[in-house]
Structure 1
Amino acid sequence: MSDFLSIPAEARVVLETIRARRSIQQIYYLPDPVPQEYLEMMLEAANWAPTHGQTEPWRFTVFAGEARRALGEKFAESYRLGTPPEAFEIAKYEQQLSRVWKVPVWIALGMQVGTNPKIPEWEEVAAVAAAVQNMQLVARSLGLGTFWASGMPVRHENTARFVGLEPPHKLLGFLMVGYPATSWPEGKRGDWREKVSWRLG
């Protein structure tokens, strides 16, 4: 952060939170429950994401506690439905059943489509992604890890209907949320200066 010592302290805190955000894979979470008020704070932050035309396309469904059992069953069913018979593996089916117990909270990332015909779908995807980023940053500030899961079983139309999303509305995956079981991982990015062109004056 030495490059930014001259900017206001509040801005430096925001930047440091952004730099410290990490994707924590599902095998690295503690079983400890996440406080309800923490989840509500994350969802409040999501609700302030930029949204063209004020469509606010994000729709979330939160699974925790015993509710994860039905979610795991749906993941497994979606894996079976979305896998050709010759590629189906019982071990992978069972992994879908059990994976939900590895993370205390799963948030379905839904997107409403077509609420304003003037808004292209890619902008709605961008709005949901911005909402998810807001959640991840607040989660980091609370000491929580997150991971955006986007594999076939978690996006399958069978899973989408389970969380209340009928076509044309879409399921973009699930955000896993929990306390990391390991030390916070180091991040790495290339120098931003190598990715920016300036055209001034």
Structure 2
Amino acid sequence: MERDTAPTLSPLPTAELLELIRRRRSVKQNLLRPDPVARECVEQMLEAANWAPNHGGSEPWRFTVFAGEARRALGEAFARSYRLGIDPAKYVPEAEKAQLERVWLAPVWIAIGMQPGGRHPEWEEVAAVGAAVHAAQLVAASRGLAAFWTSGMPVLHENTARFVGLEAPARLLGFLYVGYPAIPWPEGLRGDWREKVAWRWD
């Protein structure tokens, strides 16, 4: 009796996929152009993020997108978080101003949140969000966009988390800022992958 076989997935061009993965870049905010990013691009990034692997279908990623004038309130939240989180003895007015103004250096800021499903270890939920962000970064690269995952105290402070609508046990894991590089597309540098792999293949 002939065995039933599941339909196979039609193969995609592996070489093109690998090239896209190699081309993905993070570019710092002061090296981005101010040109606006089409909402369609961001929507494609977030749709890709939604297909990330996750344990038990928990889909823990949560995103809040800031663009245009909406960045002003985000900058104010960063500045307030700096004031709340810094040791008063180490407070620097210029640093607070930098937090207020940094939002204008990238046209799109995406808050990266993690809403745990409650059934799996937190590290698995965080890993799933990381996979979602990487998927979004790959789509960004396919559109000529750089996407940098930033953190730091003002970004991760509970004041900022509340501002973007995240309350415990949800966590704010940072922001992905997105824009077109003002510099030539950076070259990547990685060590040989074969030096990082041990084989036990009988």
Give the TM-score, by structure 1 length. Answer: 0.94
Partner of 1:58: 61
Q: Structure 1: where are the runs of 5+ without partners?
A: 1-7
Name the CA distance, whole Å, in 2 between partners of 1:86 and 1:149: 25
Instruction: Give 1:5-154 correspondences, 5 Å limit.
Output: 10-113=13-116, 115-117=117-119, 119-154=120-155
Instruction: Give 1:180-199 correspondences, 5 Å limit.
Output: 180-199=181-200
Give the TM-score, by structure 2 length. Answer: 0.93
For 2:16, the aligned partner's letter is V
For 1:116, the aligned partner's letter is G
Partner of 1:4: none
Name the CA distance, whole Å, in 1 between partners of 2:13 and 2:154: 40
Name the CA distance, whole Å, in 2 between partners of 1:83 and 1:67: 25
Aligned positions, number: 192
Structure 1 vs Structure 2 CA RMSD: 0.9
**Percentage of identical aligned residues:** 66
Cα shift readout 1:67-105 (whole Å, capped 9, x = no counterpart): 000000000000110101001100000000000000000
Q: CA deviation at 1:9?
A: 7.0
Cα shift readout 1:121-151 (whole Å, capped 9, x = no counterpart): 0000000000000000000000001100111
Cα shift readout 1:151-198 (whole Å, capped 9, x = no counterpart): 111111000000000111100000000111110011111101111111
For 1:146, the aligned partner's letter is A
Q: Structure 2: where are the runs of 5+ without partners?
A: 1-10
